Structure 1
Amino acid sequence: MRIAVTGSIATDHLMVFPGRFAEQLLKEQLERVSLSFLADRLEVRRGGVGANIAFGLGLLGLDPLLIGAAGLDFAEYGHWLREHGVDTGAVQVSDTLHTARFVCTTDQDQNQIATFYAGAMAEAAHIDLAAVTAGTAPALVLIGADDPAAMLRHTATAHRLNIPVAADPSQQLARLDGEQARRLVDGARWLFTNAYEAALLQERTGWSEQQILDRVGTWITTLGADGVTLARAGCPPLPVPAVPTGKIADPTGAGDAFRAGFLAGTAWQLPHERAAQLGCALATTVLESVGTQEYKLIPADLTARIEHTYGAGAARALEARIVRTL
């Protein structure tokens, strides 16, 4: 099962503020915030949700097709992705613009304030999903955060071609109007949000939780340290606890890693709960490294994490596939 991943390709500038944002925000002055946070660490890393998810799928041997727009500085990044199992043949490289930039500051409570510069991502809407997948239609297309026009175009094309869609609007929900949000979600086989995005999605679409569930296959909500919840219309929600860790280095990219693990599990035709457990194990692995693509997957480590959290049965169910892949 081949997965196409559409979404942003970016360079991450990750900073750490050794205090708490909440202590600097005055409730009565929120309408006119003007703050500067003195960071004590800066890491420049590869990122972008599309590239991050494709990277994780590549490590797991899925040969993902990355579809997105990058800048004239993409050569080294593209080589890195190909070395890690990602097909970059459908990446459109701009002649004039630089690759998008994600600038993020994290405080000591793991809260984040971020700014995203689109750069070459603005050209993603020029990509024709039908053309770049002609002859090798993927079994699934993930629509990740990207230029909004590209997200809408890719979604419409996938539905027209009868290719199942995993909708993952994430950060771009803030830029979408109600009609756009409804078009991205309606008919998706998988819907990914975090808890805040779940509430924002309901506000944007005007649909209740039940109305959204009636329009998608499975809605996966990530809950940070509380794990994830899988929900389907007519079924009780299925909670899956997170894989614990005592050494969080950087939360950036953990959600993307979960998506990669979960989608790999579904590609291997694992039960949804097992796929979510694999996703949670990958997410924790990323939490323990700085940057979104700096982690390594070691079969014994991954299996041990799964066994410690979910038991020997889960470890046995996943071990053969993990060892064979890695």
Structure 2
Amino acid sequence: MRIAVTGSIATDHLMVFPGRFTDQLIEGQLDRVSLSFLADRLEVRRGGVGANIAFGLARLGLRPVLVGAAGADFAEYDSSLRTVGVDTSAVRISEGLHTARFVCTTDTDQNQIATFYAGAMAEARLIDLPEIRRTVGGLDLVLVGADDPQAMLRHTTAAHDLDIDVAADPSQQLARLSTQQTKRLVDGARWLFTNEYEAALLQERTGWSESAVLQRVGVWIVTRGADGVSVLSSAAPRLDVPAVASEAIADPTGVGDAFRAGFLAGVAWEQPYKRAAQLGCALATVVLESIGTQEYKLLPADLVTRLDRAYGRTAARDLEPLLAAVS
């Protein structure tokens, strides 16, 4: 399966605040907040949801096509992605803007406050998906991830027009999308990814109930953090998959992207949704135990052990031969 991953390409500036954000909030003063947090650690890492998901797919042995926009400062990042197997030929390089920046502070409760600067991402709307399909020799699936909103709408329309399966993953951009934009991104998707908060926001934004959403998409995958993931469909009973436990949490940034990579790899390998979700949860925990979204070590034996402990020997045995390509 040839997967195109559209979405942001960014540099992450990750900081850790050795306290709790909620302790700094004063009741009755929330309408004029002015806070400063003294962080005791800074990590500068490569990220962006599109690049993170493509990286995860490549580490699992697939060769995804990354579709997004970056700045002239992308050369070193580009080289690192190509080294692991990501096809970056479809990345647009801006002549005047820097690659996007994600600045995020995490407190001791794993709450996060983040700011995103779009930069070159604004030029993603100029990318022509039909031309990319011709250049790479065909596409079987297009994941539409958080990106410039006009690019997300353009890629969604193009994929539907080309009769290519769409995985809708609006995530952080739901907060700025209009009702009509949200409906256009979701309606007709074969897969829809959200977390629990985004699921509620999507229903509020569209006015659709859960059943109404399921009438418009094939499968709705809702991630629930430590409570795992739910796979919803109008054609099958609800499937709840528990998370893979971790005792060494390092940084939650990129965990959702890792789940998507694992899930889509399972889909590409024609695994049932239960196995795909289990693989996604295992990869998510690997990333949870790492600092940075693309710094994790990925070993077949480690993934198989995690699957075995969390879901039993049958699950591990089903996925073990498919993980042989992990590098």
TM-score of the pair, normalised by structure 1: 0.99
Report deviation, 1:26. 2.0
Equivalents in 2 of 1:148, 1:323: separation in Å? Answer: 37
1:129 corresponds in structure 2 to 129
Q: Structure 2: state its 5+ residue gaps.
A: none
Would you say how many aligned residue pairs link Structure 1 and Structure 2? 326
1:286 corresponds in structure 2 to 287
Equivalents in 1 of 2:141, 2:199: separation in Å? Answer: 22
2:176 corresponds in structure 1 to 175
What aligned pairs does 1:81-92 form with structure 2 within 5 A after superposition? 81-92=81-92
1:51 corresponds in structure 2 to 51
1:28 corresponds in structure 2 to 28
Equivalents in 1 of 2:237, 2:84: separation in Å? Answer: 38
SS of equivalent residue, structure 2 residue 237: coil
What aligned pairs does 1:73-222 form with structure 2 within 5 A after superposition? 73-134=73-134, 136-222=137-223
Letter in 2 for 1:133: R
Which stretches of structure 1, 4 residues or more, deviate above 6 A after TM superposition? none
Letter in 2 for 1:142: L
Report deviation, 1:164. 0.4
1:62 corresponds in structure 2 to 62
SS of equivalent residue, structure 2 residue 192: strand
Equivalents in 2 of 1:287, 1:27: separation in Å? Answer: 32
> What whole-Å deviation, never above 9, does each CA across 1:62-112 have from its counterpart, x for those lacking one?
100000000010000000000011000000000111000000000000000
Q: Structure 1: state its 5+ residue gaps.
A: none
Report deviation, 1:236. 2.4
Q: 134-143 or 199-208: which moved more?
A: 134-143
Equivalents in 1 of 2:173, 2:297: separation in Å? Answer: 29
Report deviation, 1:237. 1.3
Does the Cα contact within 8 Å between 2:72 and 2:95 map onto a contact in 1? yes
Report deviation, 1:206. 1.1
Report deviation, 1:235. 2.8
Percent of aligned pairs with the same amino acid = 71
Equivalents in 2 of 1:283, 1:50: separation in Å? Answer: 16
Letter in 2 for 1:191: L
Equivalents in 1 of 2:168, 2:86: separation in Å? Answer: 20
> What whole-Å deviation, never above 9, does each CA across 1:153-172 have from its counterpart, x for those lacking one?
00000000000000000000
SS of equivalent residue, structure 1 residue 236: strand
Does the Cα contact within 8 Å between 2:262 and 2:283 map onto a contact in 1? yes
1:314 corresponds in structure 2 to 315
SS of equivalent residue, structure 1 residue 229: strand
Report deviation, 1:12. 0.1
Equivalents in 2 of 1:21, 1:58: separation in Å? Answer: 36
Letter in 2 for 1:308: R
Equivalents in 1 of 2:197, 2:138: separation in Å? Answer: 33
Does the Cα contact within 8 Å between 2:168 and 2:189 map onto a contact in 1? yes
> What whole-Å deviation, never above 9, does each CA across 1:14-71 have from its counterpart, x for those lacking one?
0001111111112311111111111110000000000000000011111000000000
Equivalents in 1 of 2:30, 2:160: separation in Å? Answer: 42
Equivalents in 1 of 2:325, 2:264: separation in Å? Answer: 17
Equivalents in 2 of 1:152, 1:2: separation in Å? Answer: 21
> What whole-Å deviation, never above 9, does each CA across 1:189-243 have from its counterpart, x for those lacking one?
0000000000000011111111001100000000001110000014321000000
